[in-house]
Amino acid sequence: MLFKKLHKWNRESIPNYIEIFIDTLLEELIEMDPKGLYKKYNSGEIKNIAGMDLEVDFPIGPDIHLKWSSDKTIDSMYQDLLSKLKTI
């Protein structure tokens, strides 16, 4: 619920606020994990990882919702984002 409260506060308090949600499967996040957080979680070094032992607080009604898939590149996601930003 923390993020929902934060998202609500942002919408009410920040002029021109745009919420962008990049919807990514947990398996993709684990595979891409540049900081090794999921590896550290799985080895017991750390706790409090969203999607593992913490519930994920997905945004409700983001202004832009992009769906990540393994066949997409960062460049194609960036282009998708730019296209959607132009419509806002």
CA distance 17 to 5: 15
- pLDDT at residue number 35: 95
pLDDT tens-digit map of 26-76: 998 998 899 999 999 999 999 999 899 988 888 889 999 999 988 899 899
CA distance 57 to 77: 22
Domains of the chain as residue ranges with CATH: 2-86 (3.40.50.300)
Q: Token pair of 23, please?
A: 């919807």
- CB 3, CB 57: distance < 8 Å: yes
